[in-house]
Amino acid sequence: MSDNVKLYRKIADTVAEAIEAGQYRIGDRLPTERELAEQFGVSRPTLREAMIALEMLGMIEARHGLGIYVTGNVRPIAPSADIDFEIGAFELIEARRLFEGEAAALAATSITDDQIVELEGLLRRMHEEEEIRGEDADREFHLTIARATGNGAIIATIENLWDWRNRSPLARNILARARGMGLEPRIVEHRRVVDALKARDPAAARQAMRDHLERVIDHLLHATETEAVQKAQQETKARRSAIAKRVAI
C-alpha cells in the first residue's frame, strides 16, 4: 500500500480486509478500541478516526457499553487521488497544534497593537454571533495570529490547514458532531492566547495555543463518545416501546 495513504486509512483498510476474509462476520464484536490501538501501535485519536471512517461506510457500529460490531458487508476503500479527502479531523488538529503553537510564539515577538485590537474584536464576534459566523470569526482569529508572524510560509501553511478542514469529508463529519453537541472550544481559551500575545510572551503564547488545540482534540473524542451514548439510549427507548406494545396486546 502506498506510503501516501494516511495512517487511519491503512488501519481502516486492514480491519476491512479482516472482515472480508471472514475473520470478523456480520454481528461479531471487534476488539476494544484500546486493544486495537495497541495492536496497531497508534494513538486513540488515530484509531477513533479509522473506526469513524468504517462507520461512515456502514461496515461497523459503535454501541455504547457493548463495543464495536460488524454491521455490513465490506465496500472497497479506494485511496483518494486528492490528499484533501484523506485528511481527518484529528490529524488536522494535531498538525494545527504543532504549527499554530509555534506561530503564536513567533507572533508574540512581532504582533502590533492594531492586530491585538483586531483579535479582541474577533473574540467578541465569536461570543456574540451565531454558529456559522462565529466559526468564520474563529478562523480569522487564528489567521490573524499567523499574519502577525510576518512569515509568508507560515501564513500559507496555516491557511491550508484551515482550508483542508472544510474540504475533508471525514473532518467535516467529526467536527459537525462536536458542534452539534455544543463542544466548540471555549472563548476563555482564545482569551488566554490573546493575553499572552498582549504580554509579548512567546512561551506563554505557545502554551496557550497548544492547550487550546489539545482541548479541541478532547472535545472531538468526547463528541464521538456522546453520540454513541445517545444512539444507545434511542435504541433502548425503541426496544422498551416495542415491549410495551407487545405486553398491551
User: How far out from the chain centre does Cα 201 lie?
Assistant: 29
What's the mean pLDDT in 44-55?
Answer: 86
Cβ atoms of 115 and 147 closer than 8 Å: yes
DSSP letter (8 states) at residue 184: S
Gyration radius (Cα) of the chain, Å: 21
The DSSP code sequence of 19-35 is: HHTTSS-TTPBPPPHHH
Give the global pTM: 0.62
DSSP structure string for 149-171: TT-HHHHHHHHHHHHHHHH-HHH
Distance CA 194, CA 145 (A): 9
pLDDT at 126: 85
| Domains annotated on the chain, with CATH | 1-73 (1.10.10.10), 88-224 (1.20.120.530)
Q: What is the pLDDT of residues 144-199, one digit of tens each?
A: 999 999 999 999 999 999 888 777 766 766 776 666 554 455 788 999 999 999 99
Q: Give 59-89 pLDDT, tens digit per residue.
A: 898 887 788 999 876 665 444 434 344 567 7
